[in-house]
Amino acid sequence: MLSVKQLFLVALLPPEPVLGQVWALKQAVRQRTGSRNAVRLPAHITLIPPTRQPAEFEASCRQTLRAFAAARQPFLVGLENFDWFGDRTLFVRVTEAAALRSCHAALLAWCATRLPAVAPEARPFTPHLTLATRDLPAAQVPALRQDFAARTFAATFEVRTLTLFRHDGQQWIRVEDFPLGS
């Protein structure tokens, strides 16, 4: 019997109050533009982008992430202002990213030997928190660019957990949080 494949995603979620502040920005963009893609997940920094895997992947992924997280220590991430990928993705910039890049590289190396179903990434790692993406109406981009160029935002937070999400066909479900250094 063939297993139905599901989407999985590994991310870092900022703690409150940063989580709520970025969520409010996402909601404001959604209300202004109708863009809904970015509000389907809480504010997060993607470590392993959506990967389609059989349902059995979840158990081995959880075990792998639990062991990886236990071997890592919490670290700081800084956020500052906004930027764009092309004209379709508005995001909060990650500025203090050395420890984050180190964590990401270590996670990919860990997965290469312990969870080989996770394919190596084809694109360079560009940590960010998405505010709007893909379904952003092109006609509204110039005004949105101008608005966010005039805004400022800054925050620093400690990353204490990794989070596994699974898409249930309708929405992303938070499967488990993996505390760092536990």
The lowest-confidence range among 36-40, 91-95, 119-123, 131-135 is: 36-40
* Residue 169, burial from CB neighbour count under 10 angstroms (0-12, 13-18, 19+): exposed
Q: What is the pLDDT of residues 73-103, one digit of tens each?
A: 999 999 999 999 998 899 999 998 899 999 9
* Enclosing H/E stretch for 67: helix 57-70
Segments making up each domain of the chain, as ranges: 5-179
- End-to-end Cα, the chain, rounded Å: 38
Q: Render the burial of 135-157: b for 16+ CB within 10 Å, e for the rest.
A: ebeeebbeebeeebeeeebeeeb
pLDDT attached to residue 167: 94
Q: What residue type is assigned to position 125 of the chain?
A: F
pLDDT band at 2 (very low <50, low <70, confident <90, very high): low
pLDDT band at 164 (very low <50, low <70, confident <90, very high): very high
Q: Name, in order, each residue with C-beta under 8 angstroms of 109's C-beta and a sequence gap of 6 or more.
A: none
CATH of the domain spanning 5-179: 3.90.1140.10
What pTM, to 2 d.p., does this model score?
Answer: 0.92
| DSSP reduced 3-state for 93 | strand
